[in-house]
Copies of this chain bind each other. A is one copy, B any other.
Amino acid sequence: SGVLRIASIPGDGIGREVMPEGLRVLDAASRRFGFQLQITPIEWASCDYYLQHGTMMPADWKTQLADLDALYFGAVGWPATVPDHISLWGSLLKFRREFDQYINLRPVRLFKGVPCPLVDQRGQPRQPGDIDFLVVRENTEGEYTKLGGILFEGTDRELVIQESVFTRLGTDRVLRYAFELAQRRARRHVTLATKSNGIAISMPWWDARADAMQAQFPEVSLDKQHIDILTARFVLQPNRFDVVVASNLFGDILSDLGPACTGTIGLAPSANLNPERRFPSLFEPVHGSAPDIHGRNIANPVAMIWSGALMLDFLGQRAAHDAIVQAIEQVLASGPHTPDLGGTASTTEMGEAIARLV
């Protein structure tokens, strides 16, 4: 112990531009807080690698990574040359599943200096404290499957079956994680995303599993909301949420919508966790590889840097996490800002400014 062993996997597009800023800030934190970092740079898990090797990752990817403490991941995908189902299922979704990163944790938080698209009922801008909740998403099973198929293909009778698979193990552990998290927070409230009035087998079952879990956490309140009205409430009453727990698909939706409600998905971080640390966890921006702005050194590095802070927190460096988040807060409030926030700073300048404040 003492040394944190981390793979840096930039991936594609702006992943390659924000990664150096993430590493710069990690480095600053390690010097300030006196922990050691050992970074293993990984060039695969990228579309470039795929175009050269015909596969997204080498055959021994698992042994190369399994003993590390965490994977620090940029963004993957370059649809113009490699279809998403190859690049994503061949890297990111493989990590999540084969390293059993069953929690996808995404903080949703409004910062000073980031224009919020929402106003409250009286037309007043939402204030930073108004939006501050966590989305806990099941990250390994559920609606994301290749199970099913096409019948009567190519005819008028063509029929497609798509199966979702939820296990008690997979569902209970994400529910438990959400309740444990809520128990440590001031409001102690869990919102479950459901759709039991329409999706008639799996979602009533989710409701029942959530009720059973709630019985073990009597101090935590539970609120089950259908995904349709829940998305509406993210916009109309974002202040009422504390911990929101959801299936893979519903969590995917809510963890893009939530950050959008705070101004941009460009700042949002995510943690793909194997809480027991049997396998390395993975930390990545919510944003993608953004081919449209790639190569210009203008991508906002905050999501990458904030993801690094989540990684340090997970690895026991809580103080370093807090210092990085405070540095982010300060730079968001008073600059320098990249063009997405109306500024003229480069990715590098914004990363340097945050690193200096850590």
Query: Using a CB–CB distance below 8 Å, which chain A residues touch chain B?
Result: 84-85, 88-89, 93, 115-123, 125, 143-150, 155-169, 195-205, 227-229, 231-233, 235-236, 248-249, 252-253, 255-257, 259-261, 264-265
In the complex, the answer to whether B156 meets A166 with C-beta atoms within 8 Å is: no
Q: Which of B160, B163, B199, B252 contacts A198 (CB 8 A)?
A: B252
- Check A162 against B156 for contact (C-beta < 8 Å): no
**Shortest distance from the beta carbon of A114 to any chain B beta carbon, whole Å:** 11
Known: A145-B201, A146-B200, A162-B163; 6 extra A-B contacts, CB below 8 A, are A88-B197, A88-B198, A117-B235, A160-B167, A161-B164, A228-B255
Q: Report, nearest first, the 4 A-B pairs whose CB atoms are least far apart.
A: A232-B260, A162-B202, A158-B168, A228-B256
Contact B256 A162 (CB under 8 A): no
With both chains docked as a complex, state the minimum distance between the C-beta of A148 and any C-beta of chain B, in angstroms. Answer: 4
Copies in the complex: 2
Instruction: Contact check, A165 vs B169: say whether CB atoms are below 8 A apart.
Output: no
Check if A118 sits within 8 Å of B115, measured CB to CB: no
Known A118-B119, A235-B117, A260-B235; contact A249-B198, beta-carbon cutoff 8 A: yes
Q: Which residue of B lies closest to A268 (CB)?
A: B232
Q: How far is the CA of A295 from the CA of B205 in the complex (A)?
A: 33
Chain A interface SS verdict (over half): mixed
Beta-carbon contact of A232 and B257 below 8 Å: yes
Instruction: Give which listed residue, B122, B144, B201, B257, contacts A148 with CB less than 8 A.
Output: B201
> How far is B195's CA from A93's CA once the two chains are assembled, in angstroms?
14
Complex CA distance for A260 and B161, rounded to whole angstroms:
32
Query: How far apart are the CA atoms of A196 and B167 in the complex, in Å?
Result: 23
In the complex, the answer to whether B117 meets A118 with C-beta atoms within 8 Å is yes
Question: Inside 8 A of A259's CB, which chain B residues have their CB?
Answer: 232
Contact A260 B248 (CB under 8 A): no
Query: What CA separation (Å) do A168 and B89 show in the bound complex?
Result: 26
Inter-subunit contact B143/A248 (CB<8 Å): no
What distance in Å separates the Cβ of A335 from its nearest Cβ neighbour in chain B?
17
Looking at A125, A161, A257, the one whose CB has the most chain B CB atoms below 10 A away is A257
Taken together as a complex, chains A and B put the C-alpha atoms of A93 and B260 apart, in Å, by 32
Q: Tell me, in angstroms, the Cα distance from A22 to B122 when the chains sit together.
A: 29
B166→A163 contact, CB < 8 A: no
- Min Cβ gap A129→B in Å is 18
Please give, as numbers and ranges, the residues of chain B lying within 8 Å of A155 by CB-CB distance.
168
Q: Which residues of B contact A159 (CB under 8 A)?
A: 165-168
Which residues from chain B contact A167 at a C-beta distance below 8 Å? 157-160
Q: CA–CA, A13 to B232, complex, Å? A: 21
Report yes or no: A205 in contact with B85, Cβ–Cβ below 8 A: no
Q: Does B164 lie within 8 Å of A164, measured CB to CB?
A: yes
Please name the residue on chain B nearest to A198 by beta carbon. Answer: B144
**A160 x B89 contact (CB < 8 A):** no
A202 to B144 Cα, complex, angstroms = 11
